[in-house]
Structure 1
Amino acid sequence: MYYQKRPSDQLGFQRKVLGSLSFYNLKEKKINFGSPFPVDLDELDFQRNVSENKSLYNLTEKKCNDSSRRKLIEQISVFNKLQKVKNEEIFGTFNNYSLVIVIQVNARIHYLLYLIKSLGQAQDIDKTLLVFSHDFFDENINRVVNSVKFCKFIQIFYPHSIQAYPNVFPGHDLKGCPRNSTKDEAVQMGCINAFNTDSSGDYRNPQLCQTKHHWWWKANRVFNLASLQSYKGLVLFLEEDNYVLKDFIHVLKLMEDITKHSCRHCKLLAMASNWDPVAVYGITMKTSQVAITGGFSNYGIAFNRSTWREIVKCKYSFCFYEDYNWDFSFRNVFLKCIKAPHFLVLR
């Protein structure tokens, strides 16, 4: 089993996966999934610049006036209160899920399509619950998510998004300082956070901060969903630009079994790592292996409610850590607050 996040500096890569090669290239769409997407890419009426890293702030400015933003905030509130689990008419109302998979979704719809397709071909996916957590409300994204018929799923929406609050905190406060302003320039402008830079001398960037805020809100929300109150199993955290192979659930369960007899003190599982055996030892691994380590990457981390309770007690180590990356902040929790943690990492 192999799981990998798309590198930001390339669109294609090759890796060994249980003795076979897997090629991933989103730009050229060279992934053979065997059957068509649940939604035709060409039929989607979606702004290409959303998935090409253009400014979300500019998009929200164009698409939303004050009235539509109020409606958006109300709609998000209704969605979150309903906690509607979809596909119960297909899979029943039982809540004894084998795994809960949480996907953080921004606006890269084409990447999300590939992830959904890969999930749909995974073994035992019908016994899981997918939780799609959004910070951008879009009907085309909702259409893609609602095309899922292979398991039950629920959608939740980050209520403090830049889309909903573009001109006030936590969005781009009009009284705030531009991120790259010098302190002298900021003082001269009289912006409200002129004396509050980070250690690099930069001012707050809402777009960068939103991912971290969303991650923390999402995790809290998931462990407090009504349909998961009795769930004590693993929660796996993915992102929209990830994809999985068919046996990822089986491999994750094997890793969980290992923790029960060989790594009882392991707090977290990670389904991939940044460790490169070719770079370290000059060898190519023919199979994936697991290792008990003192660190982890942000690729497919999984933990249970018991670990989450420990994490919540260390919220200040996450929220006040000076880094907009949720994964660096998350590592800081284990580094500074949770004592002597160990992690089981697939590599």
Structure 2
Amino acid sequence: MNFNPEHFVRVYLIIFILAVSSIFYAVYQQVVFVKKQRRDLLHNFHDDNSDNITYSDYLEIRFREKRVNMQNIIKIKALIKKINTRQKVFNAALGPLAHETPVVVIQVHSNVMYLRQLLASLRLANGIHQAFIIFSHDYFSNEINRLIRGIYFVRYMQIFYPYSIQLHPNVYPGHDSTFCTDGYVCTKSNMRDPEAAQLKHHWWWQANQIFDHLEIMQRFNSTLVFLEEGDYVTKDFFFAYRLLKKARNTHCPFCEVLSLAAHEPEMSTYAKRTMMTVEIWTNRIRRTGIAFNTKIWKALKTYSQAFCFHNDYNWDSSFRNVALKKWESNIYMTAISGPRVFHLEKCDDRDSGCRVEYQVEEIQKFLQLISKTLFPWGFVMVVKKEEEFNGSALGLWEDVRDRELCMHFAEHSVWF
């Protein structure tokens, strides 16, 4: 076959023209996109008082917004530092804390309505004035703070998670659009989910701070009950809790945790002689209403790495993973068959049929039906054979920074 230089030049020119055309078309598309983006941005900022807003005006507005946001973050950080280091107990006139004082930790996010319902149920709980509540926040809200400041029926304290997304919106541990592996090889990626990671970070931080670094708690060998924003408790919540502790101490001293919300509410499970169960803490059992004492916490803390390196953003799954490492077994719990903690399902804003008020009404109707079986006079113990925890993990905990921050909370007191 003879080589034809003219044919080769023609082919080369065609390829060259196509390549240049592609480049020019890509540039043109980018210019069109930028112009459209500017028009959209200007349209969003357009109002009756700015008929001829320019792109320079838009940039100035955005700059002012960022400056205001940064000032707000600095202000919130200063307030959090003051509140966390002050550790003030409100309503202290209700009496001093003692060894038998029920201590409830409520993990608060940003939903005022859910928190309001929980507080309404706690206010009606028998023995609430003898308890102590610690509100642990990962979002600073004046509206939520005002709601809590209106509490008069129980001693309480507020603490704030200082590494929240709210305070780090565009950098780790907030949204920074990177994913880091061992050796801090960080690449642009959307693999990390800051909201999911915060769930585990917040719980682990609050447990470390309350058990090990909260001054008022160092005087007692306390058991902590963990609730969440969106829970709703029965009138005999504290009565059932004390009965559950008695059942555990008498019949299941090897059980690591207690549960006030292990099972689905059914009328048949409520009785004046209630049923207490000994069972394995599996994935199907809710983490809300879980309680454990200082002894179990120290055992958990000893295996911080098993907790912090478990590839699951859920703290309860990571807790159960510690059992596989430390006890080479499962975590056993003493649970009450008729739950004393109900949980309100989160409603999608687009779901008009899902209303928090409706859920509360349904719970209150159910509580009215079982009202005569609350405050049981005794209990019977039952051992339930369930599937074992297999160490499964849901992921979203592979970023090396999350694991190291988790270990940092285990090794240091972090109030701000």
Verify: 1:285 aligned to 2:272, yes or no: no
1:76 positional shift: 0.8
> CA offsets per residue over residues 181-202 of structure 1, 9 Å max, x none?
xxxxxxxxxx96339x8xxxx7
CA distance in 2, matches of 1:276, 1:130: 25
> CA offsets per residue over residues 290-329 of structure 1, 9 Å max, x none?
2111215213000111111001011112111111122222
CA distance in 2, matches of 1:102, 1:125: 14
Equivalent of 1:236 in 212, 225, 235: 225
Partner of 2:88: 84
2:99·2:222 contact (CA, 8 Å) conserved in 1? Answer: no
CA distance in 2, matches of 1:245, 1:258: 19
2:99·2:221 contact (CA, 8 Å) conserved in 1? Answer: no
Partner of 2:203: 215
CA distance in 2, matches of 1:204, 1:328: 18
CA distance in 1, matches of 2:297, 2:229: 22
Q: Which has the higher helix share?
A: 2
Which stretch of structure 1 is more off in the superposition, 96-105 or 146-155? 96-105
Equivalent of 1:204 in 173, 192, 196: 192
- 1:262-273 mapped onto 2 (5 Å cutoff): 262-273=251-262
> CA offsets per residue over residues 66-96 of structure 1, 9 Å max, x none?
22212211211111100010011x3134445
Matched residue type, 2:194:
P
Partner of 1:346: 336
**TM norm structure 1:** 0.70
- Residue 161 of structure 1 aligns to a residue whose secondary structure is coil
- 1:175-214 mapped onto 2 (5 Å cutoff): 176=178, 193-194=186-187, 203-214=191-202
**TM norm structure 2:** 0.59
1:63 positional shift: 10
- 1:1-347 mapped onto 2 (5 Å cutoff): 65-88=69-92, 90-96=93-99, 98-174=101-177, 176=178, 193-194=186-187, 203-223=191-211, 224-274=213-263, 284-287=268-271, 289-296=275-282, 297=285, 298-340=287-329, 341-347=331-337
CA distance in 2, matches of 1:256, 1:337: 24
CA distance in 2, matches of 1:126, 1:159: 29
CA distance 1:97–1:72, change in 2 (3 Å) = farther
CA distance 1:271–1:149, change in 2 (3 Å) = same
CA distance in 2, matches of 1:94, 1:285: 34
1:233 positional shift: 2.8
| Structure 1 residues not aligned, in runs of 5+ | 1-60, 179-190, 278-282
CA distance in 2, matches of 1:284, 1:120: 27
> CA offsets per residue over residues 207-259 of structure 1, 9 Å max, x none?
11101100000111111211111111321000011110010111111111112
1:310·1:338 contact (CA, 8 Å) conserved in 2? Answer: no
**Percent sequence identity over aligned pairs:** 37
Highest relative contact order (Cα 8 Å, sep 6+), 1 or 2?
Answer: 1
CA distance in 2, matches of 1:319, 1:274: 28
Matched residue type, 1:156:
I
CA distance in 2, matches of 1:276, 1:336: 33
1:168 positional shift: 1.1
> CA offsets per residue over residues 256-299 of structure 1, 9 Å max, x none?
1112221111111011224688xxxxx94353522111215213
Structure whose CA Rg is larger: 2
1:270·1:301 contact (CA, 8 Å) conserved in 2? Answer: yes
Aligned alpha-carbon RMSD (Å): 2.5
Matched residue type, 2:209:
R
CA distance in 1, matches of 2:270, 2:247: 21
1:95·1:227 contact (CA, 8 Å) conserved in 2? Answer: no
CA distance in 2, matches of 1:208, 1:109: 20
CA distance in 2, matches of 1:291, 1:240: 26
CA distance 1:96–1:342, change in 2 (3 Å) = closer
